[in-house]
Amino acid sequence: MGDQLKAYIREAKAHLQGLTDVKAAYQDVRAAMMTEVETIKTAQAQGRAVIPEVSYVRVADGTVPQAMRAEIRHRGCVVVRGVFDRSQAEDWNAEIGDYIARNDYLSKAKEKAGIDKYFGGLKSGTPQIYGLYWSKPQVMARQAESMAATKRFLNRLWDVAGPMGDEFDPDHDYAYADRTRRRQPGDTTLGLSPHMDSGSYERWLDPAYQKIYGAIFGGQWRDYDPWKATYRTQTREFSSAAVCSMFRTFQGWTGLTTQGPADGTLSLIPVAQSIAYFLLRALQEDVEPDDLCGAIPGRALGARKQWHADILDGLISIPTVGPGDTVWWHPDLIHAVADAHTGTDYANVIYIGASPKCAKNEAYTRKQAQKFLEGRSAPDFAPEDYEVDFEGRATIADLTDLGRAQMCL
């Protein structure tokens, strides 16, 4: 990291450290988070579910109880089951496999190795995630009515009202074209160390993030509301390949195969308030003045044993999900992909998050639409452009009215 970036960090840290007694604030949040971790571990030991689960049927007819909404807000994550029929998801899984084979993706990938730098700093190395954005199954899943209904439900868990009007429109989403994961049983090369996306050192330095986290930096972390949308669409991230330029209310994916705790899939620290611990940790005296516990601009923000051991014990696997189930998590949640896949079936997903209508997301969607029409990689990602001459790629003729609206086309 360059001297100028280090100088920015020093300045921001000195400012934030002057706002409150950061040591007392940290001790307080640390104690509360360690209690949360104990609760999670106890529940796990007793075989009780920690990560909330709802059925898509209840989402669709609007009958998810208030208590469940509160639980999702507390945990910052949720499994929505049955957004797609199992057979539909299984067909999509086979179709993507065929798309990859027919277009000889793997030998082309060898030629383009090394373009994706985003996860380079995380210990487990670069994941084997396919740089495909426009296969028909991905496009169909993004524009499905059941997906739109699920996103409306998720977006409405946020409080969108703000002094200058609503921060975003919870009822309409733009498509964010992301990649697809196909993980073989026995694979040990694809792990992702615990991290969060949507900004690393920006979470301390960016003026909008400083306002979002104002209560935390002011020493009142209990007053911090992870679901208050104000300023969330106004953050600016250091520009870099694979950093998401859209505001997402939830990151997420749709399962194409059955996958659970042994299958090298997703783990989370299911506490929405854990960001308060994370932010205050970096402001303690044992961290160098120009360091934020290893945060590097343009990279995922890693959670490390050296600094964050207290809460890493709360990292737990998602429950077993099947084809057509979806998993969602708040953009501030620490998550990981296990180093080893010790199960017997592929662990395959299509990444689809919730990215509601707002000026920030519209600007990106318009750039993305051009890439779609040309079959190029989505603008946030390494310009591998595999699909330009791929046979069977989705085109504008495959978009429904909803699909066109979600793509600004």
For Fe ion, what does the binding mask look like between residues 187 and 206, x meaning CB under 5 A? ----------x---------
Nearer to Fe ion, 197 or 384 (CB): 197
Contacts with Fe ion by CB under 5 A: the residue count is: 1
Question: Is 280 in contact with 273 (CB distance < 8 Å)?
Answer: no
Q: Which is nearer to Fe ion, 119 or 217 (CB)?
A: 119
Q: Residue 197 or residue 380: which is nearer to Fe ion going by CB?
A: 197
Query: Nearer Cβ to Fe ion, position 28 or 116?
Result: 116
Nearest to 238 by CA among 307, 295, 289, 302: 295
Our CB check for Fe ion shows the closer of 143 and 317 to be 317
Instruction: Report, in Å, the least distance between residue 42 CB and Fe ion.
Output: 27
| Residue with smaller CB distance to Fe ion, 187 or 197 | 197
CB of 292 to Fe ion, least distance (A): 18
Task: Supply the minimum distance, in Å, between the C-beta of residue 335 and Fe ion.
Answer: 6
If you search the block for the tokens 């994941």, which residue do you land on? 127
d(CA 387, CA 376): 6
Give the contact letters, 336-375, x = binds to Fe ion (CB under 5 A), - = no: ----------------------------------------
The whole-angstrom separation of Cα 39 and Cα 33 is 10
What is the distance between the alpha carbons of residues 305 and 193, in angstroms, rounded to a whole number? 11
> Other CB atoms closer than 10 Å to residue 346's CB: what's the count?
20
Chain residues 218-277 in contact with Fe ion, contact rule CB under 5 A: none
Quote the strand ranges of 44-162, DSSP E. 53-55, 77-81, 129-130
Closer residue to Fe ion, CB minimum distance, 59 or 272:
272
Residue placing its CB nearer to Fe ion in the complex, 243 or 280? 243
Residue closer to Fe ion, measured from CB, 143 or 274: 274
Closest separation between CB of residue 379 and Fe ion, Å? 18
Which tokens in the block code for residue 211?
């306002």
How many whole angstroms separate alpha carbon 347 and alpha carbon 93?
10
* Those residues with Cβ within 8 angstroms of residue 179's Cβ, 6 or more apart along the chain or in another chain: 129, 130, 131, 132, 133, 351, 381
**Of residues 144 and 378, the one with the C-beta less far from Fe ion:** 378
Question: In the beta sheet, which residues pair with residue 317?
Answer: 267
Using Cβ positions, the residue closest to Fe ion within the complex turns out to be: 197
The Cα–Cα gap between 42 and 62 comes to 32
- Beta bridge partners of residue 189, listed in sequence order: none
Cβ 349 to Fe ion shortest distance, Å:
12
Find tokens 């066109």 and name the residue.
404
178 binds Fe ion (CB under 5 A): no
| Shortest distance, position 66 Cβ to Fe ion, whole Å | 30
Beta strands in 72-188 (DSSP E): 77-81, 129-130, 169-173, 180-183
CB 262 within 8 A of CB 339: no
The CB-of-127 to Fe ion minimum distance in angstroms stands at 10
64, 153 contact by CB (below 8 A): yes
Tell me the C-alpha distance between 245 and 358, whole Å. Answer: 12
Give me the least distance between CB of 152 and Fe ion, in Å please.
23
Q: Report, in Å, the least distance between residue 300 CB and Fe ion.
A: 6
Q: Tell me the two tokens of residue 138.
A: 């991905």
CB of 340 to Fe ion, least distance (A): 18
At 254 the three-state DSSP class reads strand
Structure tokens at 187: 């694979």
| Interactions with Fe ion, residue window 370-399 (CB under 5 A) | none
- The contact set with Fe ion (CB under 5 A) reads 197
